[in-house]
Amino acid sequence: MIVELGHFTLLLALLVAGLQMVLPLVGAQRGWTAWMAVGGPAAIAQCLLLTFSFCALTYAFVTSDFSVRLVALNSHTLKPMLYKVTGVWGNHEGSMLLWCLIIALFGALVALFGGNLPDKLKARVLAVQASIGVAFLSFLIFTSNPFLRLVSPPMNGQDLNPLLQDPGLAFHPPFLYVGYVGLSMSFSFAVAALIEGRVDAAWGRWVRPWTLLAWLNLTIGIALGSWWAYYELGWGGFWFWDPVENASFMPWLISAALLHSAIVVEKREALKSWTILLAILAFGFSLIGAFIVRSGVLTSVHAFANDPERGVYLLAITGVFMGGALTLYAVRAAEMQAKGVFSTVSRESALVMNNVLLAVSTFVVFIGTIWPLVAEMAFDRKVSVGPPFFDAAFTPFMVLLALILPIGSILPWKRAKLGKSLRPLWLALLAAFAIFALIWTVQTGRTLLAPIGALLGSWLVVGAVADIWVRTGRGGVADKIGRAWRLPRADWGRVVAHMGFGVTIFGIAALLAWEIEDVRTANIGDSFEVGEYQVTLLDVREVQGPNYLSTMAEIQLTKGGTTAILTPESRFYPVAGMPTTEAAIDNGVFRDLYAVIGDEQADGSWAVRTFIKPFANWIWAGAIIMSLGGLLSLTDRRFRVAPGAAKARATVAAE
Amino acid sequence: MIRALILWLALASAAFAVEPDEILDDPVLEERARELSKGIRCLVCRNESIDESNAELARDLRILVRERLVEGDSDDEVIDFLVSRYGEYVLLTPRATGANLVLWLAAPVLFLGGLAIALGYVRSLKETPSPETLSESEKARLAELIDD
């Protein structure tokens, strides 16, 4: 019964979204306030209906109602409760329902907290957001309905996939979806502004928090996915340039560009039409990502043929929204006159450079991702584009970005004197080069990768400190600390996020350059050296887990007086018939010790793989610091208060 | 996304990649083999190199690469051999020939193009006459007034 109700509210939500799409838009064109006022309540109603629908599906999963086809295919009574719940979005249909719910949730948030928006803009934003909702709800209902029943329900579910029963993987999709879908909000604002034909500083201020929210969730989602790959795949890789990964990385890159250009709109009323274009493209890359992941077109050309309906539908959604928005853009962009003028050396110019680098690197990733498809269809060449290409084509942009970042963030707006503005950075540069030289001499004869990574990382971190130092003005240290405390949170957000970027760059470079790997066969009791560690295989035994059989090794690593015991496992899950590798990791600030146990050899010894991974955790720590920066910026006072003031400014700007 | 990952992992299964018995005694040759393996695609996997993959075919290819190296092939000869046998698809780094030039040139061309547009835009802003400066006719008129 509850499932049927959930199905019913899903259909109702589509109806409500349809109304929310049409009425406020027509109202805003004609100036009918009553019609415009429909948008808010409709957005909240749509969100409530979908929330109920989502809860109904969760209920079916929790109670293991195998008469629901989706539950029968994707759950099992033996699954722990946590993974029964996360299993709701661990499949195409359920995750699409979550996706629709988040679209509606963002709409409802605008309805609830958008009190400072002019009525017309708000009506149009809600209408555009609802049109996205209509597209995805109809996709869900007509091609991937999660509530379909089975005529003869099975005794138990089919899926007890051990790989899904993992916190890293269970929680990474919701973060990513909030990110992907959050960009629909920036898109709605962009299209609404185009319909209105007006973009001003206030618009920049409204669109920024939504982009920030999307970006910081994407950051967390990507970091979780990468961290999961690191500990689960059994050899500690953290990024593979896989199409599925690129699908989430492209929106991240372009929304980072959007974040920065929206600042220029807000502070200086320049780069307006470019920012609108970025907002459209950012959501476009989200749609392309959804298409890539769900149609399977890039995984293999044949997967597309297996499910042409979904792929074509998603491609159509992408085409309609991008085609429509870009046409509107072509017609209206010329009306966006820039007000703020700036010179070649200024913070605006630095942000333009940031945008060039981020946007171009997004397109490079995009071209690399779709090239195998293009080459096969257009040139009849079957090629692979793998990590070596992306490393070579993408990395230079990040290096350049890291080089200009501290300079850009310290330059004043409008017009700058390079020599004078850069004075506080000399110390940062000196520190960065000192660290570079130190590492270079200590690690004689190895690649330059690590020293360069350290140079960039410390340049970013010390540069961020210099940024705060300058921001606090003149005076004694005590004065400065007092003023630093009172700086806007947005300033702190910027500084923290930029530091996080530096930490991640250093982590990646250090791990790639200094990783030590050892593969060998060892008998129980054997001892060998890996790097500076004495490694001993103490024991290998069979262990019976709750729903799996495990071969568990006990490996001791000693360095100086400290000892770490690692217990890597290779498990077999009988229900799923699937073996998994459970690497054992001893996490540390300066290094991870990483051990994997392989098969028993013919002579009774065991295959053992040991890694020393220096600074591995810095990669994800940096990502978390970046998202914290985003969060700090999001709580800035100017986003929270003074709706009245913003409204007044908007009406002035409108004249 | 999850389904795609599962597919990937199902193919990779319990990943162990390079097995101890494959490793060559000569550390220099082994190092070359590892480097080469990182650029060779495991043909039955999802976007994985033979160095990372646990698939049977990846193991065969790893052993093949090592056999060729032991026989004295150069790195290029090993790669040419693999391409002649499995096609260009086996390379994770696509060759910069023919249509693939588009792929390789995309990054520099887009960057230079973007840079040119950005510079043009910033310059154009600077050239807009600001209201403080007077046009030639205004200057002439001012001079006239002052002279009077």
CA distance A460 to B140: 53
Residue B110, SS3 per DSSP: helix
What residues does A570 pair with on adjacent strands?
A: A551, A581
CB-based contact (8 Å) between A447 and chain B? no
Asked if residue A572 lies in contact with residue A586, where contact means CB atoms within 8 angstroms, the answer is no
Question: Tens digit of pLDDT for each residue in B26-59?
Answer: 888 888 888 888 889 888 877 788 888 878 888 8
Asked if residue A360 lies in contact with residue A421, where contact means CB atoms within 8 angstroms, the answer is no
The pair of three-digit structure tokens given for residue A440, joined into one six-digit string? 């270079």
A290 and A236, same domain (yes or no) = yes
CB-based contact (8 Å) between A382 and chain B? yes
In the predicted structure, residue A284 carries a pLDDT above the cut 90: yes
Q: What is the mean pLDDT of residues A341-365?
A: 89
Question: Tens digit of pLDDT for each residue in A448-464?
Answer: 788 888 889 988 998 88
Asked if residue B29 lies in contact with residue B66, where contact means CB atoms within 8 angstroms, the answer is yes
Which chain B residues contact residue A375 at CB under 8 A? 94, 99-100, 103
Higher pLDDT, A467 or A360: A360
Which chain B residues contact residue A91 at CB under 8 A? 2-3
The pair of three-digit structure tokens given for residue A524, joined into one six-digit string? 């129980």
Question: Tens digit of pLDDT for each residue in A105-128?
Answer: 999 999 998 878 888 899 999 999
The answer to whether position A623 is within a domain reads no
A145 and A45, same domain (yes or no) = yes
The pair of three-digit structure tokens given for residue A228, joined into one six-digit string? 């999961």
Are A579 and B13 in contact (CB < 8 Å)? Answer: yes
CA distances A332 to A194, A325, A326, A335, B122, Å, are 6, 10, 10, 6, 22
CB-based contact (8 Å) between B87 and chain A? yes
CA distance A19 to A372: 42
Are A161 and B6 in contact (CB < 8 Å)? Answer: yes
Angle at A614 between CA A510 and CA A244, to 5 degrees: 70
Nearest of B45, B57, B59, B51 to residue B12 by alpha carbon: B45
In the numeric block, the tokens 């480097």 are attached to B35
A246 and A298, same domain (yes or no) = yes
Mean pLDDT of chain A: 86
A98 and A202, same domain (yes or no) = no
The answer to whether position A393 is within a domain reads yes
Q: What number of C-beta contacts closer than 8 Å exist between A and B?
A: 172
Asked if residue A636 lies in contact with residue A215, where contact means CB atoms within 8 angstroms, the answer is no
* Residue A422 pLDDT: 81
A130 and A278, same domain (yes or no) = no
User: Looking at this protein, which amino acid is placed at residue A13?
Assistant: A
CA distance A207 to A185: 8
A120 and A223, same domain (yes or no) = no
In the predicted structure, residue A132 carries a pLDDT above the cut 50: yes
CA distance B54 to B44: 11
Are B122 and A388 in contact (CB < 8 Å)? Answer: no
> Torsion over CA of A312, A317, A320 and A326, rounded to 10 degrees?
-120
Confidence of residue A251 (pLDDT cuts 50, 70, 90): very high
The answer to whether position A655 is within a domain reads no
User: Using alpha carbons only, how large is chain B's radius of gyration in Å?
Assistant: 30
Q: How many CA atoms does the CB half-sphere of A101 hold within 13 Å? A: 23
* Residue A640 pLDDT: 63
Extents of the domains making up chain B: 2-90, 100-147
* Residue A390 pLDDT: 92
Asked if residue A238 lies in contact with residue A230, where contact means CB atoms within 8 angstroms, the answer is yes
A260 and A377, same domain (yes or no) = yes
Are B16 and A598 in contact (CB < 8 Å)? Answer: yes
CA distance A135 to A184: 12
In the numeric block, the tokens 């605006």 are attached to A348
Superfamily per CATH, domain B2-90: Cytochrome C biogenesis protein (1.10.8.640)
What residues does A557 pair with on adjacent strands?
A: A535, A564
CB-based contacts of B69, cutoff 8 Å, min separation 6: B24, B29, B32, B33, B36, B78
A346, closest residue in chain B (CA to CA): B122
Q: Which helix (H) or strand (E) holds A541?
A: strand A533-544
CA distance A49 to A437: 61
Q: Which of residues 41-70 of B touch A (CB under 8 A)?
A: 41, 46-49, 52
Are B41 and A247 in contact (CB < 8 Å)? Answer: no
A237 and A113, same domain (yes or no) = no
Across the interface, of A247, A381, A384, the residue whose CB is closest to B92 is: A384
Confidence of residue A629 (pLDDT cuts 50, 70, 90): very high
Across the interface, of A163, A349, A382, the residue whose CB is closest to B89 is: A382
Across A271-306, b (16+ Cβ under 10 Å) vs e yields bbbbbbbbbbbbbbbbbbbbbbbbbbbbbeeeebee
Which of A361, A395, A413 delimits the end of a domain? A413
Counted residue by residue, chain B has a size of 148
DSSP per-residue string spanning A579-623: EEEE-EEE--SSEEEEEEEEEEPTTS-EEEEEEEEETHHHHHHHH
Which chain B residues contact residue A233 at CB under 8 A? 9, 12, 15
CB-based contact (8 Å) between B142 and chain A? no
CA distance A101 to A53: 9
What residues does A529 pair with on adjacent strands?
A: A534
A151 and A249, same domain (yes or no) = no
Which chain B residues contact residue A163 at CB under 8 A? 5-6, 9
A116 and A207, same domain (yes or no) = no
The answer to whether position A105 is within a domain reads yes
CA distance A544 to A581: 15
CB-based contact (8 Å) between B111 and chain A? yes
For residue B23, how many other CB atoms are within 10 A of its CB?
17
Across the interface, of A235, A356, A579, the residue whose CB is closest to B114 is: A356
Number of domains into which chain A is organized: 3
Which chain A residues contact residue B89 at CB under 8 A? 382-384
Residue A571, SS3 per DSSP: strand
- DSSP 8-state assignment for residue B91: B
* Phi, psi at A412, each rounded to 5°: -75, 160
* Residue B127 pLDDT: 52
CB-based contacts of A278, cutoff 8 Å, min separation 6: A254, A257, A258, A261, A355, A359
Are A356 and B130 in contact (CB < 8 Å)? Answer: no
Which chain A residues contact residue B17 at CB under 8 A? 234-235
* Domain around A347: 197-302+330-413
B131, closest residue in chain A (CA to CA): A341
* Residue A655 pLDDT: 34
Confidence of residue A654 (pLDDT cuts 50, 70, 90): very low
For residue A308, how many other CB atoms are within 10 A of its CB?
10
pTM summary value: 0.89
Q: Which helix (H) or strand (E) holds A156?
A: none
Mean pLDDT of chain B: 79
For residue B34, how many other CB atoms are within 10 A of its CB?
17
Question: Tens digit of pLDDT for each residue in A509-551?
Answer: 888 888 888 888 888 888 998 888 999 999 999 998 877 889 9
CB-based contact (8 Å) between A242 and chain B? yes
* Residue A80 pLDDT: 83
